[in-house]
Amino acid sequence: MNNASYPYFPPIEPYRSGMLPVDDIHTLYWEESGNPQGQPVLVLHGGPGGGTSPRQRCFFDPAHYRIVLFDQRGAGKSTPLGEYRANTTQLLISDIERLRIMLDIDRWLLFGGSWGSTLALAYGEAYPARSLGFILRGIFLCTRREIDWFMNGMRWFFPEVHDEFLAAIPDDERGDLLQAYKKRLFCDDPAVYLPAARRWSRYEGSCLFLRPDPEAIDQFSSDAVSLGVGRLEAHYFLHEGFFSDDQLIREIDRIRHLPAVIVQGRYDVVCPPDTAYRLHRAWPQSKLRIVDDAGHSGYEPGLAQALVAATEAFKASGRFD
């Protein structure tokens, strides 16, 4: 492992990858890297619609872990990009099970940040017997309060960024920004939905870091990222994640017996710490790690260090003590 200033393991390439058709619309990209006989870990990307990154492989010791990444429906290299039809949390959970069975994995560690933490909890609560434990970062439970914070509350910290988010929305539609973006993101005209997706994605990308990262903002503004992020985040927000009221908290007993660590940036504006603390209070058996010099992105140094420390702790003992 590298030194403390750069906490990741060295970059690696997948030893196997492929495309998995899951229905008449969607085909999913998946890959494996690390040790083919190692401890399986499933990496769940954020968004929804954010897609995987090669850097996500570097949180894990490749000599120990069998690292599985996949792009969820409508995201990354999965096709079609930005497709919101036949795209629900329950279908994503079914996709994960299909992938697990295809790869002949009995149980795996679940690693996810932001929406990835949401999906990890949802999968674990649906399939606790297939889950070894959880490493969760930047907790998002997809409640109405959190969605309203994303659409409106982040302006308290990023007012100029929120003004850009509003810029293309007429005054008479600004009372319900989610519905205003719905009208634009889900129309059939790319001259309308592509700029809306870019604005949505750039809005999020501009708020991820404690210190702004121009490269990340540019990446979130690209068509390859923004269409998945803009359309699918709005789609899932409109349906409150396809959950019943506070479902992930109410069903925490299903996974209470499994080891879990929650890693949270103190100054996370996208997914504020209150949600992580609320999850920890409902699940006191979990370990809560607040990183005082970090925002939302798992690639910020303090968060990356804490995440690598968690994967190393689980490697050593199967716990996070």
Catalytic residue among 61, 71, 213, 268: 268
CB neighbours (10 Å) of residue 218? 12
Helix H or strand E segment including 40: strand 39-44
Structure-token pair, residue 37: 């006989």
Is 69:31 a contact under the CB 8 Å cutoff?
yes
Kindly give, in sequence order, each residue whose CB lies less than 8 Å from that of residue 145, ignoring residues fewer than 6 positions away: none
226 is an active site residue: no
Catalytic residue among 33, 61, 296, 297: 296
114 is an active site residue: yes
5 is an active site residue: no
Alpha carbons 229 and 235: distance in angstroms, whole number: 10
Is 285:225 a contact under the CB 8 Å cutoff?
no
Alpha carbons 274 and 224: distance in angstroms, whole number: 32
Kindly give, in sequence order, each residue whose CB lies less than 8 Å from that of residue 149, ignoring residues fewer than 6 positions away: 272
Catalytic residue among 33, 114, 117, 297: 114
Write the Ramachandran bin of 76: left for phi over 0, alpha for psi from -120 to 50, otherwise beta: left
Is 263:301 a contact under the CB 8 Å cutoff?
no
Residue 67, SS3 per DSSP = strand
Is 110:125 a contact under the CB 8 Å cutoff?
no
Positions marked catalytic: 114, 268, 296
